[in-house]
Chain A
């Protein structure tokens, strides 16, 4: 059969093209635009080439040092958060009942934190963590711990981590639970016949079958923790000092606080590329392993 050929079909693509242009491409291009220009104010811009990028990516400069510091803090934060959330989420999913009336209520309760908006979570925890009137802060202080999330770097750091764990472990739980439920009973029955221990069942049956959902869970959690903004903004304001100044916090400080648009634009492009690259590397490694196994 001959395919009808008509260039007017391109017109049908136009609405989507226009939408993507306005929603993604044009805003992105303004950032690109800022990143290669400088201004002395009064809306006079002049060409600055790749100078901003050189500055941001060179740790010897002030901006470069700031960027590198925030990047390292952010990577450490993502790493710690994932290290807690993924095993904890899988662990909780393993403890959930496989069926019965209790599954519904339990899943709803587990999902509740995820339904709360970021700034509300931040505000809740800001109060919750206060040493004078907050239950969490008062309880820790009452136990004799030296806890103060606005003055103590370690307290501030762990508070942000705890908030993220509280807010998002449920996502890992739900994904893992779905993955576990998809495992056919025959695997467990075969394992019983083979006299496999609980640990052997986990390592040889459950974990391999969970791989695909865990790839999704880890990707989602990595992207979200790497772009974390609201919680430190509301709870610690990036402090004390710059202990919880993660990339997005620093970016906003530079762009909107100091109105250093050129540096901020270069920094956000670098930030964007790092996120995409890390996700791509991670995804490729996970899926390649899959393909090698199937071959």
Chain B
């Protein structure tokens, strides 16, 4: 198994859906590659779980094709796909011991006893479950149960992908970190494709090689965590990733100049005049906007928060509120200050989508 391909996959839970709003998942094309860790990130109800269930076969998409390598598996039943899934709440079989739980998927597929035993021991070792193998599974803590759920997925040697549906929701905060690093270790050890659904950006950014940001059933951007932070393709990505999120200010853009709250700012590149009636905004991270005595734009400071590692100011630019970084050596007497924005990290968004600069 090398890759999983989504070929124009879309899904609606309504029959005969027509309008775009009827779709829980809007058409998506993507190739998931072997051995990589992906995260599906987005707010509740954005279609992450639907996408996950399509891959595992619990939901059959209303449109498009799903390929495992070159084999079309769109209509193949869940148990015939080599997919493992770990759910939000730990699912264990109450009547069985930990070892029996781990062996269950193999037994159901008719693997012989000696092979089952060896494989269960191997997976238990990987997940630190060896000591509790003979215990009844239902007496264990939530994180141990979640490890069993994970183990049941990993125990099949031919597993193509392991899917996680917000697996840390019910885990004690102190143990979350531990379990997450366990997942990373398992990923490295088994070289398996992992897809991890979450609404927690820290979980997504620390776990994944690539993050898929979704909203309202639409994929907004698929990129590495650094890329998502440095170059959001959509205003929602900028706003959702980072704390605080990206600043967006309304502006008029013409060529290499922008007018913001009555002041003029020079951009790094030239931009075509956006169509009339479209919403035009400039986006920049608080990390790339610094307050000082000199700078491009005049702003008024409302509040400065000392976050320990850095100082962050809430400032007003015309009528719009934004966040900016305050360098250590700078101090203010009144509330007037000037703002400098790194032009390389300043982007133009037209109707929420990032507009690339024209080639020079």
Binding site for B on A (CB under 8 A): 184, 186-187, 189-190, 192-197, 200, 203-205, 207-209, 293-295
B→A interface (CB under 8 Å): 53, 56-58, 77-79, 83-85, 87-89, 91, 93-96, 104-105, 108-109, 136, 138-139, 149, 152-153
A187 proximity list for chain B (CB < 8 A) = 91
Which B-chain residue is minimally distant from A211 (CB atoms)? B94
The residue on B at minimum CB distance from A194 is: B105
Cα distance A208–B92 in the bound complex, in angstroms: 11
Count of A-B contacts with CB under 8 A? Answer: 63
Contact A204:B93 (CB < 8 A) given known A192-B79, A193-B153:
yes
Given known pairs A189-B58, A204-B93, A293-B94, the reply for A194 and B149 (CB within 8 Å) is no
Q: How many Å lie between the Cα of A204 and that of B109 in the bound state?
A: 16
Known: A195-B108, A196-B104. Is A186-B88 also a contact (CB below 8 A)? yes
Q: Verify A195–B105 contact, CB threshold 8 A.
A: yes
Please, which residues of chain A bring their CB within 8 A of the CB of B94?
Answer: 204, 208-209, 293
Q: Chain B's nearest CB lies how many Å from the CB of A215?
A: 15
Q: Do A189 and B87 touch (CB < 8 A)? A: yes
Given A193-B78, A194-B105, A208-B95: A184 in contact with B89 (beta carbons within 8 A):
yes
B138 touches A194 (CB 8 A): no
Cβ-defined contact, B108 with A190, below 8 A:
no
Q: Return chain B residues, CB-CB under 8 Å to A192.
A: 57-58, 77-79
Residue in A closest to B110 when the chains form the complex, CB atoms = A195
**Are A193 and B136 closer than 8 Å at their CB atoms?**
no
Report whether A294 and B138 are in contact in the complex, using a CB–CB cutoff of 8 Å.
yes
A192 to B94, CA, bound (A): 17
Most buried by B among A204, A208, A294: A204
Q: A187-B91, A208-B94, A293-B94 are in contact. Are A194 and B139 (CB under 8 A)?
A: no
Q: What 11 new A-B contacts, CB under 8 Å, besides A187-B91, A204-B93, A204-B104?
A: A186-B91, A189-B78, A190-B149, A192-B78, A193-B79, A193-B83, A200-B108, A209-B94, A293-B94, A293-B138, A294-B139
A205 contacts across to B, CB distance below 8 A: 93
Tell me the complex Cα distance, A189–B105, Å: 13
Q: Would you list 11 pairs from A and B whose C-beta atoms are within 8 A, ordered by A residue?
A: A184-B89, A187-B91, A190-B85, A193-B153, A194-B104, A194-B152, A195-B105, A203-B95, A204-B104, A208-B93, A208-B95
Question: Would you call the interface of chain B mostly helix, strand, loop, or mixed?
Answer: mixed
Q: Are A204 and B95 in contact (CB under 8 A)?
A: yes
Which A residues lie within 8 Å of B89 (CB)?
Answer: 184, 186
A295 touches B139 (CB 8 A): yes
The binding surface of chain A is classed by DSSP as helix
Q: Are A196 and B91 in touch, CB under 8 angstroms?
A: no
Docked pose: A177 CA to B58 CA in angstroms: 23
| Contact of A186 with B138 in the complex, beta carbons under 8 Å | no
From A184, A193, A196, A209, B56 is in contact (CB under 8 Å) with A193
Which of B53, B104, B109, B138 has the most C-beta atoms of chain A within 10 angstroms of its own C-beta? Answer: B104
Does the CB pair A196–B108 fall under 8 Å? Answer: yes
Q: B84 contacts which chain A residues (CB < 8 A)?
A: 193
Q: Tell me whether A189 and B85 are in contact (CB under 8 A).
A: yes
Taking the closest CB of chain A, its distance from the CB of B156, in whole angstroms, is: 9
In the bound complex, CA of A184 to CA of B94 (Å): 14
Q: Give A194 to B80 CA distance when docked, in angstroms.
A: 10
**10 tightest A-B CB contacts, nearest first:** A195-B79, A186-B87, A190-B91, A194-B105, A195-B108, A208-B94, A192-B78, A204-B93, A186-B91, A189-B58
Taking CB atoms, residues of chain A closer than 8 Å to B58 are 189, 192
Please indicate the chain B residues that have their CB under 8 angstroms from the CB of A190 in the complex.
Answer: 85, 87, 91, 149, 152
Most buried by A among B53, B93, B152, B153: B93
B53 / chain A contacts, CB cutoff of 8 Å? 189
Q: For residue A205, which residue of chain B has the nearest CB?
A: B93
Max chain A Cβ within 10 angstroms of own Cβ: one of B79, B85, B91, B96? B91
User: Are A195 and B95 neighbours in the complex by a CB distance under 8 Å?
Assistant: no
Closest A residue to B96 using CB positions:
A204
Report the nearest A residue to B91, measured CB to CB: A190
Shortest Cβ gap from B42 to chain A (Å):
20
Q: Which residues of A contact B95 (CB under 8 A)?
A: 203-204, 207-208
Closest chain A CB from B139 CB (angstroms): 6
Contacts of B77 in A (CB 8 A): 192
A62 nearest CB across to chain B (Å): 50
Q: A193, A294, A295 — which one has the most chain B CB atoms within 10 A of its CB?
A: A193
